[in-house]
Amino acid sequence: MIDNNNTLFPLDSENKGNHRKTTLTQKLSWAQVKSSGLDIKQQDYVLSYLQNLSEAVCARDIEVMTGMRISSLTRVLNNLKSQNKIKVDKLGKSKHSGKPVEYYKVVNSL
């Protein structure tokens, strides 16, 4: 429900237990992305890069290659994983931050 200040409301049930609050602007922005097909275009864009690579790469590598912000890539990568188009090939240490990260690779369709 939207409060009187029109600032925050709980996520609806489609977000499965995420207790984070979302602004009205965020929800409207996501609706616009979905209706424009931008989410599918971003997924296809990232997938085309990954298909041309012989080794697995982390999200930061994909950010550098595609020029997409990491905040947008997180959603794209999760969607591609849930569609079984990419997989986590390994967990390793990031060359960018030194922290543990997932390395992604395209799922072979053979």
- The residue type at 60: R
pTM over 0.85: no
Q: How confident is the model at residue 27 (pLDDT cuts 50, 70, 90)?
A: confident
> Which domains, from first to last, does the chain contain?
21-106 (1.10.10.10)
Q: How confident is the model at residue 21 (pLDDT cuts 50, 70, 90)?
A: confident
pLDDT: which is higher, 19 or 40: 40
> Could you count the other beta carbons within 10 Å of the beta carbon of residue 28?
10
Q: What pLDDT digit, counting tens, does each position of 30-46 carry?
A: 576 667 665 678 899 99
Q: What pLDDT digit, counting tens, does each position of 2-14 carry?
A: 444 444 444 444 4
